[in-house]
Amino acid sequence: MTSNLRIAHCSDIHLDGDSYRDGVDGRDWFRAGFDRTLSAIRGHTPDMMLLAGDLFDSNAPSVETVNWAMDILGAQPFPIAMIPGNHDCMAADSVYHRHDFNRIDNVHMLSAEAGELARLDGLGVAVWGKGMVEHAPEYIPLAGCPERPKGYRWYLGMGHGIHVPHGGSTGRSSQIHMQDIEDSPCDYLALGHHHAALEVHAETTAAAYCGSPTDTVGRGATYAIIELAENTAPGVVIHELEFPD
């Protein structure tokens, strides 16, 4: 168990998505972006990584791309916890039904509809997340998160959906209300879906959208590094990647 924890937070990679550049194959564009992101993340020597959904742009990526993704995740020198997003949700045709990401030694895929825990005992970390089956207004990404498991110093959560601030109202799908963040028992919530990075901290829980490392909206192509330490306010830093011309 560690009294300090450094977390890399990444989301919305959209492998096999359409290219943002004329003449560049989308498969190569998004692979290169994720490869570049992981290289930058390794430079921070994180204890672990949270991948908060939409690794794939759809539930129909090529087998070649899936194998590439599984290989590159398995090659990272830290444990990775991940959830599906709305693009690669746990519908009947989900890529995660066809390919078992939990067979990768360092990967914990949290895909249960009701939510599930990954326990990283060596770090004293428990991570909660759940698998979105349908991107719909009825789906609430942070609903049902249990209290902090006994014996774990750090409790992390993941959710993929749209942020709704206090006083906000929307009929859109997969809503993450500010009240859900304030009520969370987690030390940090890694959020996905917004391609523009956004910090949405509550008094007792740090929370952020890390943005997308393959999109330039908002602050640019981004990922986040989070520092947790005992008796210290969480530190969340959004890092911008160089986006090739």
pLDDT number for residue 202:
84
Sign, CA torsion 26/28/32/38:
positive
Chain-centroid distance of CA 4 in Å reads 20
| Residue 86 φ then ψ, to 5° | -80, -30
To the question of pTM greater than 0.75 for the whole model, the response is: yes
Q: What domains, with CATH codes, occur in the chain?
A: 4-240 (3.60.21.10)
Q: Which residue in 145, 151, 211, 153 sits closest to 182, CA to CA?
A: 145
Separation between Cα atoms, residue 59 and residue 134, nearest integer Å: 12
Q: Is 48 exposed, middle or buried (0-12, 13-18, 19+ CB in 10 A)?
A: buried
226 contacts: CB under 8 Å, gap ≥ 6:
6, 7, 8, 9, 188, 206, 208, 234, 235, 236, 237
pLDDT number for residue 243:
67
pLDDT number for residue 233:
86
pLDDT string in tens for the chain (245-residue length) = 568 999 999 999 999 997 655 566 778 889 999 999 999 999 999 999 999 999 999 999 999 999 999 999 999 999 999 999 999 999 999 999 999 999 999 999 999 999 999 999 999 999 999 999 999 999 999 999 999 999 999 999 999 999 998 777 778 899 999 999 999 999 999 999 999 999 998 888 899 999 999 998 888 899 999 999 988 889 999 999 986 65
Separation between Cα atoms, residue 124 and residue 238, nearest integer Å: 25
